[in-house]
Amino acid sequence: MTNDEREWWSPESLTAREREVRTGSTSDSADLRNDFASYRALASGLDPQASGLHQHNEVEPWRIDTVCRDYEVIVRQTLRHSPKRIADLGCGAGFTTDGLHRTWPDATVTGFDVSHDAVRYARNRWTACRFVEGAIVPDGSLDGGPYDLILCQEFYPFTRTGSLETHREWMKFLLANMTDDGVAIIMVSAGTPESINDTYLRLRRDYAIRRQRIAAPRISRRLPNGVASVAGTVLYRARPQWVRNLYVLQRQ
C-alpha cells in the first residue's frame, strides 16, 4: 500500500503528518483545528484554551472525573483486582492519563501518543505517569505491557472507519497486549458513523465484547452510574450524539 492509498488516520499517515506539522512544512502547521498544531502550540507555552487543545482532548477536570468514574465502575465489575498496569492509547496531552492515575493511584499508568509535542508536554506536567512517543501499530507490542486495563478513548482505528477487517486486527492487538484477566475499554460517541458502532454486532460473534451506553458527561456528571446508563439507553433513540458507547473487551 502506498502513502497515497493509506487512510489519513493510519499509523503511517499520522507519523508523516505529525512530522510535517511539527516542522512547519505544511499549511496546517498554524491551524489550531489540527491536533498536531494544537499540541505544538501547547508545548510552546499556550494554555489549553488558547492552543485549541480543548477541541481535540478532554481538558476540563469535571469531564475527566466523570469519564474516569465510569471506567472505574466497569473495571470494578469486570476485574477481580485493581489494575496494576494501565495503558492510555492515543493519550494526547495526558489529561485523561492523569485522571486514570488519580483513579488508581497505586497503578503504573502509561500514555501512548504519536505526537512529539503532546508527549513532551505530558511528561513535563504529569510526572506521576509514564509517556511513550510513537505510532501505535496493530502488529506491534505496547512498551511496559501486558496491561490489566487498556483505554482507547476516541482512538482513531475505532472512530474513523467502519472496516470490520481493521477492527478485527485491532481486537487481536488489544488481546495480545492484555493480561489474561485484563480488560480493554473503547469509548466512542454513539453518534459517530463509520466506527466500531457499525461493526459491533459482527465483532461480538468472535470476541468477548459488550456495549454499555452512558449519557454524555454534561448529563451524567451528577447521576449515579446506573442512572447514567439508563439515561444513555433512552437518549440514544432521540439524541445519539449525547451518548457515549463504551465497548468492553475481555478474553473468551
Predicted pLDDT of residue 24 = 86
Position 6 confidence tier, pLDDT thresholds 50, 70, 90: low
Structure-block grid coordinates of residue 130: 509514564
Specify the pLDDT at position 19: 93
Sign of CA dihedral 235, 246, 49, 55: negative
38 and 81 together in one domain: no
Instruction: State the average pLDDT over residues 193-201.
Output: 97
Alpha helix positions (H), the chain: 11-23, 35-43, 61-78, 95-103, 116-125, 156-159, 164-176, 196-203, 217-220, 225-238
The C-alpha angle 243, 244, 245, rounded to 5 degrees, equals: 120
Are 75 and 20 found together in one domain? no
Q: What is the average per-residue pLDDT within 65-85? A: 95
Low-confidence winner among 17-31, 55-69, 159-173, 224-238 (lowest mean pLDDT): 17-31
Q: Are residue 81 and residue 205 in the same domain, yes or no?
A: yes
pLDDT of 9 > 70? The answer is yes
Based on its alpha-carbon atoms, the radius of gyration of the chain, rounded to whole angstroms, reads 17
d(CA 244, CA 240): 8
What is the Cα 151 distance to its own chain's centre?
6
State pLDDT tens for residues 206-221.
999 999 999 999 999 9
Please give the average per-residue pLDDT across 92-110, as a whole number.
98
- Same domain for 23 and 51: yes
Q: What is the mean pLDDT of the chain?
A: 94
Percent helix / strand / coil, the chain, rounded to 5: 45, 20, 35
Q: Is the pLDDT of residue 82 over 60?
A: yes
pLDDT for residue 26: 77
Cβ pair 246, 211 in contact under 8 A: yes
Task: Check pLDDT > 50 for residue 4.
Answer: no
| Segment among 43-57, 144-158, 161-175, 191-205 with least mean pLDDT | 43-57
Number of domains in the chain: 2
150 and 212 belong to one structural domain = yes
Q: Render pLDDT for 130-178 as a digit per residue (tens, 0 to 9).
A: 999 999 999 999 999 999 999 999 999 999 999 999 999 999 999 999 9
- Going by pLDDT thresholds of 50, 70 and 90, the confidence category of residue 10 is very high
Grid cell of 139 as nine digits:
502488529
Please say whether the beta carbons of 202 and 164 come within 8 A: yes
163 and 209 co-located in one domain: yes
Residue 15: which domain range?
A: 3-55
Nearest to 21 by CA among 41, 37, 33, 42: 37
My answer on whether 117 and 27 are in the same domain is no
Return the C-alpha cell found at 2: 502506498
> Where residue 3 falls among pLDDT bands split at 50, 70, 90?
very low
Query: Does pLDDT of 250 surpass 50?
Result: yes
pLDDT of residue 2: 36
Are 30 and 128 in the same domain? no
Q: Quick one: 110 and 11 in the same domain?
A: no
* Domain identity same for 71 and 51: no
**Residue 197's domain is classified under what CATH number?**
3.40.50.150
Q: Tell whether 25 and 97 lie within a shared domain.
A: no
Same domain assignment for residues 95 and 215 = yes
